[in-house]
Each structure stands twice: as C-alpha cells, then as structure tokens.
Structure 1
Amino acid sequence: MTRSAHDHAEPVMDDWDGDPGRLPHSTPALVASHHEGGSDPVEQSRDRLSRALEASGLVGSWEWDIEDDLVRANPTLARLFGLDLDAAARGLSLDAFFSGIHPQDRDPVRASIEQALVTGEEYRSEYRVVGQDGTLRWVTARGRCERNGAGRPVRFPGILIDITERRQAELALRESEARLEAIVDSVDQMIWSTRPDGFHDYYNARWYEFTGVPEGSTDGEGWNGMFHPEDQERAWTCWRHSLATGEPYHIEYRLRHRSGQYRWVIGRAQPMRDTTGRITRWYGTCTDIHDLKQAEEARDLIARELQHRIKNIFALVSSLVALSARDLPEARPFAALLQSRFSALARAHDTISPAGAPGLVTGPKEQTLQGVFRLVLAPYQEAPGQRIELTGDDMRVDPQQATALALLVHELVTNAVKHGSLAAHEGRVSVRCAAARETFRIVWQEQGGPGEPLTPERRGFGTLLTDRVAAGQLGATLSRDWQPHGLVVTIEVPLADLTGGR
C-alpha cells in the first residue's frame, strides 16, 4: 500500500528562519497544496507554508514515494529542474528529476541519496541544476528517508533552496582573494598580519622566500626567533609597546636570511580598527635595507676619511704659518690671526660635514641656532660683530637641522666673500632672527659690496645647493632680493621642522 501525505500529520518547519544552514530534518507533505485540503488545522498550516515557500521563489520541496517511484514537487522545484509544473505536481520518476541535474553532479547526488536510504542518516547535497532555458543554478538539498514498520524505506520528503547568489558571491570572494594574493606576492616586500593580540597568522610568499623557513613555522611567537639575538629583546619591547598603545610599529633590525646571513630590514605595522575604534588586525611589512645600509656605511667611511684629510690640511697649513713666522717677529701677529682663521675654518668644516654633525653638540650654546651661525661665521669676522652682526631670537635646534642650517649659512657667507659685500673692505652683513607662532624667520642682508648687485643670469651650483637644503632638509621657503645696497635673503622655516618635531 502506498502511503499518502495524509498518513503523517505532524506540524513541520514551525520555527525555520529561512537559513539554508538550518533546514528542517524532514519536510513531510510540503507538496500538500497540490492535494485537496480540508478544514483540518494541520492541513491549513501545511497549505499556508506551501504557499509561502512558493511565493519566495527560492525554496522547492519534494516528496518521493519510493515504492511507486513517484516524486511530487512544488512549482519552484519543478522550474529549477526544467520540468512541467503540472506533471511534477502529479508525480514523475526519480530519473526525470535527475535529468535536470548537471551531468557532472548526477553521480555524487545519487550516491548521497543511496547512502541516506541505507544508513537512515540525513540527506544533504549541493549541486547544479539546469532549467528549461539552459540557465545553470546552484541548490542545496536536505531530506530524510522514512521507513515502515518493517524497516523498509517507503517515503523520502525533502526541501531544496536556490543558493546561486551565495555561490556567486563565494566565487567572487575567492577570485578577489586570489587576485589580492597574487598582488601581495608580486611586490618586493615581506607582508604579514596578526590578530589583535599580536599573534602572527599570515605571511606572504616573499617572507618564506626570504627566510627559507617552512610555511607556518613562524606563526605565533615563532617570528621573534628569526631576529638577530642582539635585536630580539629590542624588537619585542617595541612590538609590545605598539600592542599596548595602538601606536604604529616601526623598527630596524637584523633578520635571518635563508643563506644564514643576518640582513638589515625595516619592520613597519599599522592597526586596522572597526567603527568603534577597536583594533581588529595588524598589517605589517618587512623591507630589506641591507644593501642600502652597506652603501651608507661606505659613504660615511669615505666622508670621515675626507674630513680627516681636510682637518689635517688645516693643521698642516697652520703649522707652516707658525714655522714661517718663527724667524720674522714682525709677522707673528699676522700669523696668529691666520692660525685662528684656520682653526675657525676647521670647526666650521666639522659643522657642515654630515660625518661631523654628531660632534656639533659640544655645549649648550652650540645647540642653538645662533650658536651654529656663530661657529660658521667666525672665520670671516675680524672681531665679534665687526663685519657680521647677528641679532634677534634664538632657539634650540635638532642636530640634523643644525647641520642643514650650517651648510646653508656657509654657502651664503662664502658667496658674500667671493662676490658680495664681504668682498669689499667696508662691506657688512646683518643676520636677523625672529620667531613667530609657527615659523622662524632668518633675514640675511648684505651692505657695502664692491658694486651694485646684479641679478645673476643663471643659477650656479651654490644657488641650487641652498635651495635644495632649504626645501628638502628644512622644509623652508627661501627668497632672494637683489636690492641696490646688496643681496637680501629671507628664509622661513617651520618651527616643527627646525626642532625635529619636539
């Protein structure tokens, strides 16, 4: 005897929320709308449910009478499988429904059904179906076999949901992730990310290529073992500080290369935050700067050697002057003046030399802007304030900015000696300094030169150098005005740049 849908009158899907991941275990009589309904409350409930499912256009239902091999389906399922609606409501063979399944998916679906028949387990499957117009759609199906008193399978109800949009979104996400992965692996950077607590859980291919370690071996805290032993504690301290404060991570350290050599890298990381400001992840990079470090060391070595040789030349010339004046008493005052000038030039050279910059800060006064100026201008003074007058405000400056200021003023004064006011005996220079709210103004004004100054027809190396130092190292604006009495140079330096941001 074939069972009908009316043989089991239990309520179905009372609290299902439409989530495919929470499909009901069985859906008996979901095709009840295709039978004559009565006044039975259960029948009315089934009829309302069937109409609701049909209205959604996404949920199909079936009931397979196993003994007669008739599968009855609602219109949504029939349309998805490309079947006649009335024929599907009356009942078609299981093979008729299989004809609507994508050929590559038929065997896996059949195997899943057979397993459910044998074991009594819930039937679950995701596969593709082909509609009458050839449209391909993805569906997820759930159902469970029901048995008679003898334990023989007699009925197999189920439900099916169209998940095409979900699968398309998943495919788009996978393609997007693949594109991002390709981009991340193509850049010449080691890229990594961590959870909010700092647990490293991702490295790009460049990291493993650089370090040569097995994939996953530096997850968690394993990354710190890749640092040079002398850098590990410093790196940990910096990283813990960033995790505790949310401040960006920035450090230079030596990282073990696959060759076994430790190479210098810059490590940087920024936190990603949600709308509430809570950190959700950290994203970081490691940049190999080893070759740049070596080039800088070689350059510094050459600069120190050059500085050493120039200072030796100053000392040698000063000694020759002293020896020459030993037998000429009348020349000794002049020799002493020359020696003092040479000593001042040597100190000024230390100031404008990058390698000598650390030696600039020898006392509180030389840490100020006017202290730097006095040091550079001293060789060109006959007496303090006699030819070059320095007035106005003073302030402490960052050592690196002090070197840039010294180079700039040195270029101005040497140009004044060769072509400007200091080329004439009566020529003078005044340097006025004034601090404003956000800037510091320096006005270099020449007077009494050998002739009326003319605007140069071309920019020489000295002009290019001062412009580049002012804009590039000081973030300053520099203007020149060739007035009848002499050149006037105005320099406006942002206070934040002058003090190094302190």
Structure 2
Amino acid sequence: MTERDHTKIPVLCRSQSIDSILLKLDSPHFSGFDLLRQLQQQIGECCPPIVVIDSDDAEVAARAFKNGATDYLVRERMTPDDLRLAVRSAIENAELRRELQRSQEQFQTSVENMLDCFGIFSSIRDESGQIIDFRIDYLNVAACENNRMSKEMQIGRRLCELLPAHCETGLFNEYCRLVETGEPLVKDSLIYDDTFGEQRLVRAFDIRATKLNDGFVASWRDITDRKQMEVELNQTVAALQQQQHKLQRLIDTAPIGIGIGSANGEVRVVNDAMLRLHGYTREEFDREGMNWRDFVSPEETERTEQAMSQLQQQGFLPSEEKELLRKDGTRLPIWISAMQWMDGTDEHIAFAVDLTRQKQAQAALKDSQQRYRELAEAMPQMVWTADATGAVNYWNQRWYEYTGLSETESIGLAGANTVHPDDRDRTLEQWSQSTINGESFEIEYRIRRWDGVSHWFICRAIPTGDNQGNPTGWIGTITDIDHQKQLEQRLLNEITQHQRIEQDLRAANQQIVGILESITDAYVAVDRDWRITYVNQMTAQINQIAAEDLIGKSHWDVWAASRGTVCEANYLRAMTEQIPVHFEYFYEPRQRWYEIHAYPSIDGLGIYYRDIHDRKQADQELSDSEERFRTLADHISQLVWMTDENGWIFWYNQRWFDYTGTTLEEMQGWGWQKVHHPDHVERVVERISRCFETGETWEDTFPLRGRDGQYRWFLSRAIPIRDQRGKILRWFGTNTDITELRQTETALQQTTERLNIALKSAPLTLFTQDLDLRYTWVYNPTQNYSIEEIIDQRDEDLASPETAARLTQLKRQVLETGVGLREEVKVTRDGQTAYYDLTIDPLRDSQNRMVGITCAAIDISDRVRLETERQQAEIALADNEARLQGFVDANVVGILYGDIYGNIHQANDELLRIIGYTREDLRTGQLRWIDITPPEHLPLDEQAIAQARTDGACTPYEKEYIRKNGSRVPVLIGYSLVGEAREESVAFILDLSD
C-alpha cells in the first residue's frame, strides 16, 4: 500500500501486519527524518524494518541510519533486484531479531524457574592481572533464596566480600583456576559452612561451573537433606546387615543340608552340612563347584529331570526321600525338598537331611523314648514332641514351669495361645507348612510367661519317621534368646564407638599436619670472599637490620658468633667441595635453633635458613602426642599402619600383630605381602605403588591371612600426610574387616541399588506449553522420552489418565489465575511411577500477554522412597529397643554389670532382692560380688573367669551368695566378658532357693 500522509503511517503499522516500509526522504509531503523518529518513538519494538531511498549523499545516509533505518539505497543506482534483496534482507533480519529476543526471554524465564541455583560472575583483576575477586552479574530466584538475600543486595557486589566462606573453603581458588585454565569445575558433596546473622549453617552442595569470557557461569544444588537421608539409610542398612548376619549364621549352623542354586542344577551357595552329605570339602567346592545332576544315580536320571523341570516351571519341588550318589560312589538315603528362593529369580533353595541314622534309629525308637524323656526333662530348654499332624503330645517340665499351664491346657495346639498375638498367625502358618511339607521348622517368637511377661525364644523342630521313611512325628526345642539380642545391641554400640575413635584419630593427624605447615624461610647470598651480595626481607626481619645495611658486609662480621662452630665448618665444606650441605644449628646470640641449607655456586654460596626453635620445643609434645596416638590406634578395631614418603612401612598397631600373628621384623618395609592372598597380592602391589608415586589416596579391597591360616576380607585405605608445601612426609593407612559385609552382598543387592540411585543427582526437566497445553519446548526429558515424542503432545498422550488429569488441573489453574504454583506430583506411565517436585509459572510475551506456561520438574522419587524406608526402619528399631528394655525391666532373673575384680557397677532390682541389699548400698560402693561370695566358692569363680576370658562366656554353674542378713542363697550364674580386655562382665543370676 502507498501512503503520502505521514500522520497515518504509525496508525497503519499498529492496525495491520506490515512486513516492511520503503521511505523516500525527498517526498514533498513530509520530513523523512521526523517520520523515522516518530515511528521509533510511537511504535517501539513493533516497528517494521525501514528501507530508506534517497540520493548518493553520505551525510543523509548517516542521518537515516542514526534515526532507525535498516538499509539505505541510492535512487540513481538502484535496480529492481537491489530493491527486492534489500527488502527481503530487512524482513528476514527483523524476524531473526524477534526470534532471538523470544529465545532470550524463554531462557531467562526457564533459568528463573529452575530449582537449582544459577549465577553469572565476571573477574575483578588488579593492575598485574591477578584475579582478586568476582563481580556478581546475575543470580536466579533459587540462588537468592539460597543466599538469603535479595537480588538488589547482591548484583554488582563482590562475591568474596558478600560470601567470605568462598575463600575459607578454597572455592574461590577453584573458580580462579577455572577462569585461567578453562577446565570445567565439578564439585560433589562440598561441605559449606557459613553464617547468616547469628545463625550458623553447615550445608552440602553439588556444584558445576564453566568458563564464560573473563568469568564463569555456575549452578549449585543444596543436597543437605539428601545427605541426611543417606546417613539414615546407612543406619537402616546396618540394621539389615545384622538381620542378614543372623540368617547366615542360622544357615551355617543348621543341622540339615541347605543349598542355593539355579534350576539347571548349578550350586552357588551351600552350607557345610550339605557338603558332608555329598562327600565334599569346602575347598573342593570352592575349586570345582557342584551340580545336582552329578549326584543322581542312573536309574533316577529320568525322574530327576522331570523333577528339575517341575521346579523350574512351578517354583517348588515337593519333599521326598531318595538316594544320593556321593562323590566317592557310595549311596546315601536323604530327604530332600526345594523351592524358589526369591520371587522373580532363577535361584532355588534346597534342603536335605541324611536319613541314615534316622532309619537305623527307627528300629530302636521305642527303647529310646524313655531315655529321651529323661534327657528332655534335664535340658535347660523347653522340649516337646508332636505327632505327624503337628499336634503336640509331650512337653518337658521346663514348659510347665515357665508358662504355668496344665497338661490339658498345653496338649495339641493349645500351647499356641501363649504365643504373642503379633507373632501367633505367622508361627501357626509356618508350622502348618512344615507339617504339610515335612520340612524342618525354625522360627523366633515371643512366649507369655505365667506372670504375663513375654520373652523372645527360638523354636526349632525336625520331623521323625519310621524305617520306611513315613513321617511319625516331630521333636522340637524352644530356647531363650533374650540374652543374644542384648549382645547384638552391645555390638552395635561398640561399632559406633569405634567409628568415633577413628574420627578422633583423623583429627589428631590433621593437627600434626597443621604444625608442619607453619614454616618460613630466610635467604642470604655471599661471594667467595664471604661478602653479602643479597638478602631477602625475611632475613632482614629476623635480624632486625635493614637489607641495604647488610649488603657488602662480611658474613663473619654480621654473624660473628658463628665463627668456630659447626656452621662455619659446614659452610667451608660446601664452598671447598662444591657440595650442598644441610644441618641444624643453635645460634647463641638469639638463643634459637635454625635449619640451614647451603648450596655452592661459581660465585659463592646461597644459604637458606628457617627458624625451627618452636619445632624443637614441640618435639617433646609431638612425642607425647604420638604416644597417645599409638595407644589409641592399638585399641581401635581396624588394623593401622604408617609408611615413610616412599611407602616403606615402619609401624603397625597391635591389632595387626594380634590378627596376623607376625612381628615387626617380618612385616616392615614390603614384608606385608607375606600375609596377602596370592591371587590378589600382585594387583595390590601395583595399585598402591602407583599411589605412592602419584600421591593419590589409595583404596582397595583384598583378603589377609590371619594367625589361624584363614583369610578374611578387608577394606583398606591410605592417605598421604603432607607438609605446608605439599610434600609427602608419610602415609597413614587402615584395614577394616568387611568379611561379614561381603557375605551379605547378595542379599543386600536390591538395597544397594536403591542407595546408589538415592546418591545420584536428581535430573532436572524444563519445558513450556502453549494455551492448549501442548508441549512447545523440552529440556532433558524424563522417563525415557525423546524430545520428538513430547513436542506438540498433551499430558493425556504421554501419561496415565489419572496422572494426566491431575497435571492438567494444576496447569489450567495457573492459566486461569495467572499465579504460579509448586506442588509434588505422582506421574505414572506404562505401570512405572515417579514423583516430581513441579513448579508451574505463567509464560508471557513482550506485551505481558499470557501465551502459555513454563515449568520445571525435579525427580524426587528417591527422596520419597528413602523417607518411607527410613520410617519403616525407625519403627523396627523402636520395636527392638522396647523388647530389650522390657526384658531388663521385667526382673525375671538377676542381672549385674561388673568386672572380674569383684566390683558391681550396675544391677537390676531382682539381683538386689536375691542378695538382700538395697540400691543405696550399690550406689555408695559398699556392694562387691567377691565380698558376698563364700570363700569355698571363689575357686569356681576363678575357673569360670578363666574359661570366659578364653571363650568369651562361661558355662552356667551353681554357687552361693552371702545375703546382707548373713544367710546364704543358692544361685545359678552364667556370664559373658565384654570389652577388648575381657575384664568387664554381664552376668545373669537365677534364684535356686525355691
């Protein structure tokens, strides 16, 4: 369109979509320059590109460009092609500028809505070009919230001035290195200690930074909550490891053969009982392996293949009796059963029982029943028998004494009424399964005593049969395990204490390193006539003489007291023999020690010396500190050692010698290779040698041979101890026994995988959607989506109906209200569920019109799962603590905590009742067990103590105590010795006077 009235042109540009304007400056109807300024002022960024046409006048062209023209064409030389090219270029460039502005606004909106902190920083340099600080150019909302300051308080300020902890943590130096080298900075789990007002915060961050011009851009994430959850999860794993240890102990000590393998017959785990059934030793199994099919007799091959197929398809194999073809060719009658070990896996567990003795014993069963009953009555455990259906037909006297029930109330399944309600259903269910399958029965549960108090017991039962292998009944025992649970808790406390000792040891080592990092040097140069040619400022400062006053003087005039001393002798030797010398010298005039290095040259001698007087005085203190360190190291559970700077081991703690049974003469230097497993020693030597060369921290896992010839697995670490200049002085290493941890690796695999996921940084997803809630842009998509799968789709095309409905509701709410929101949401796709922390904000154009939404989502599935597991673990641990406290408070038996020297440190009310003393007697120290023991019983105590110091516990025995009123009371006592020295005791005393 053509318009000659200049007043109408701005109206046309605002009312219609104008791609470009051709403007002739020499138009007689209006001033071209005035119109250019008017269009720019009234229309602003929406003004179309303007191409100006006029004469070949450079001044006119300059004024046109200055007033906003996009291009300038000379009317006399312009061709139609020139005009078309200029207009097309102006339109394309204008569109590119608008697209760039939209992209910048979109990126700005995305960064502002990130959950991670983001900032841009530029270098501040001094006159020499050295970086002295960084100016804060930009921070997003998350960064301001993290720093607890507004943008106005931070933008333009110096980083270290505003947040001085950057210098204290060394992070400022890391940023300087990034800018100078261009290498990206990655810091995981950085501990950052800062103060806001009067509040001190210690937080953990993941940091990523990249160079940008003469500065850098950085993003950081506060992972403090995640680190706390990791600690809590580690505590949960420790509790699970204890349970796994108990399970492994039960398998290893089980009287029946137990093996775990695949359905194709390969055996992966087997206990000693199963190895004995097959005629194998543990060494043969580890070397050769086993397969069930190798032990099938020829006539049983076809039936066995059918059974293995049934096991693979149905997940179980009914119990049966069969003959086992042992390794030496002999045959053994066994009872065997198998079932799937874990749902969804190829592993199966098999149980086998040697029926040889059972078959031999069936003929003499009637004759032995009476002897069995007599033995059962004499046993300290509860003993029972049942018929083939599982109905109990006999209890020994211990049952009736504990429960207070009559025979009528105990026979059949009536005794199950004494089982704690929380344990009864699972106990009856497992007992029913055992009676049906003929499998051995073992379970832990609580039983109510006659006074209503419940104690923990472990019940074990095995089936009995006749000569034909038909089940005839069951025999079982019930054993009190309250004491065992108490010992498990004490073990957990001891591990915690050892960890604290290890932290104290590391702190002591850091203190020693700090002392070594306070050394300074002075320098003096003399010519061959001993005239001083140069001194540094440290020399002038030490001698309190200006540097210029020393130049030209004789060394022996300035330091006349050094004449005729070891100092002069060493200087003359260095000058004459042209060799460097190093010595320590006490300078009398100043009464101080110095460490001196002298280096000869053609011109004379260069002398470095440093004040070591404080170090000399600290030698005795350091010796005392090292003695304390060695004492501490000898009493922690780890094996500890130290090397010189080249890796030559010169010291081990006592734990090393106790475990290996070696001496320092055998182990010093590289002698430690003698106790390493031959399959691992070459690898270990190669890795640790490389660390000794590079100065990197060393960590490895390998077995070490103990004094008994058995190998145990250890996690080993070594760190370099450096002086203030970074020179390695020595290495400090530890070996931590992880044998039990490795044995539980298989069972803890799933937990470990969850833990690894929890330790990873949660991925961040950014995206925008239009008013129709179709995805227009996505950054870092989740749940295995590609960007192409998401663009132009709605939530109902990508997620489950329930998820899509909830997401649409939240997004519509933002579109309708114009107010952003943040909420945790659950997203389900193809049966997979994840949890996200979702932030939704309105997306607006340059005229503040809403054109869609911009969102940021961070995966918090790990946090939700960790919180659920932590709550479950807390409930389980609280239950265990309540049961342990209930046992102590029940006062069923007397309990004391004392030592082998006759002292009583703590005692419960039942013990005080038995011996007739009061708690006040105990508190005032008037009560000692050795004083209330008759002299004729002290030899029994000495024998029991000797046994307990060797085995850890003594066999229960009977003795007497002298009560406060002078009477005597008979008791049954048993105890364990605890602590490394086995001098402290935990004893249980039963009153036999009734």
Query: What is the TM-score of this pair, normalised by structure 2?
Result: 0.19
Higher relative contact order (CA 8 A, sep 6+): 1
Q: Which has the larger strand fraction?
A: 2
